[in-house]
Structure 1
Amino acid sequence: MPISAPKPCGHPGCGVLVRDGTSRCPKHPKPAWAKPVKATKRITGRRLQRMRADLFQRDPLCAECRRHGRVTLATQRDHIKPLAEGGADDETNEQGLCDDCHEEKSLAEALRGRRRSAG
């Protein structure tokens, strides 16, 4: 007896009905997430806190808002080129962003990552 109502496989272009409660048919299992081999190691701890403080002292405004003519305080330390895409975790690849701009940028990066892994 099925666990839930049949629904189409979540793989793009596959219309096989799945009856076991998962989102994929046996032919299209969902790939396990794995950190890319080339991903840069993330800085943590006191060194990260010092880098954040230095960034906000050096440049307290949101870089993206400033590009659009707005003045907003930065609250997030952001990597200009994401670590998952080979960016460095140092001051040459950091910018301050407000929460809204950081959220928007993070969503766009996640979408790019999903597209890369699906392709």
Structure 2
Amino acid sequence: MPIAAPRPCSHPGCGVLVRDGTGRCPKHPKKTWAPAAKETKRITGRRLQAMRADLFRRKPLCEPCQEAGRVTLATIRDHRIPLAEGGQDDETNEQSICEPCHALKTKAESARGVRRSWGNYREG
């Protein structure tokens, strides 16, 4: 006697009925869990304050604005390569940036992260 009725595969867009209780059809097995890659540890406290002050002393203007021909005062210390994507928290990976440019950059990074996480659901 069956324990439960067949259910559709839980993979987005798949409607194959699954009878074994796993929730996934043989075409869409669940990926095994793996720990996330280690992010670079952020610098904090007085050391960060000193690095930030030094950056704004050296580069007081927003670097992306300067490349676009605008002159804007920088207010944020930003990582060119995000720490979550393997960038380092040091002088070689920092830039001075204004709030509007930082918002655009953050939006693009967020979209990349969403595409990366949803990439596991693509059929291949």
* TM-score with structure 2 setting the length: 0.68
What's the RMSD between the two structures over aligned residues?
Answer: 2.0
Q: Distance in 2 between matches of 1:52 and 1:67?
A: 21
SS at match of 1:43: coil
Is the contact made by 1:36 and 1:84 (CA closer than 8 Å) also made in structure 2? no
Q: In structure 2, what is the equivalent of residue 110 of structure 1?
A: 110
Q: Distance in 2 between matches of 1:99 and 1:56?
A: 14
Q: Distance in 2 between matches of 1:82 and 1:39?
A: 9
Q: Distance in 1 between matches of 2:14 and 2:100?
A: 36
Q: In structure 2, what is the equivalent of residue 97 of structure 1?
A: 97
Q: Distance in 2 between matches of 1:12 and 1:52?
A: 45
Identity of aligned residues (%): 67
1:88 aligns with 2:82: no
Q: Give the letter aligned to residue 94 of structure 2.
A: E
The answer for unaligned runs of 5 or more in structure 2 is: 1-10, 16-22, 25-34, 120-124
Q: In structure 1, what is the equivalent of residue 49 of structure 2?
A: 49
- 1:39 CA drift (Å): 1.1
* TM-score with structure 1 setting the length: 0.70
- 1:12 CA drift (Å): 5.7
Larger radius of gyration: 2
Size of the aligned set, in residue pairs, is: 92
Query: After TM superposition, what 4+ stretches of structure 1 lie above 6 angstroms from structure 2?
Result: none
Is the contact made by 1:39 and 1:83 (CA closer than 8 Å) also made in structure 2? yes
Say if 1:12 and 1:108 are closer, same or farther in 2 by CA, change over 3 A. Answer: farther
Tell me the alpha carbon deviations over residues 20-65 of structure 1, each in whole angstroms, 9 at most, x when there is no partner: xxxxxx87xxxxxxx9423111111111111100000000000000
Q: In structure 2, what is the equivalent of residue 69 of structure 1?
A: 69
- 1:118 CA drift (Å): 1.1
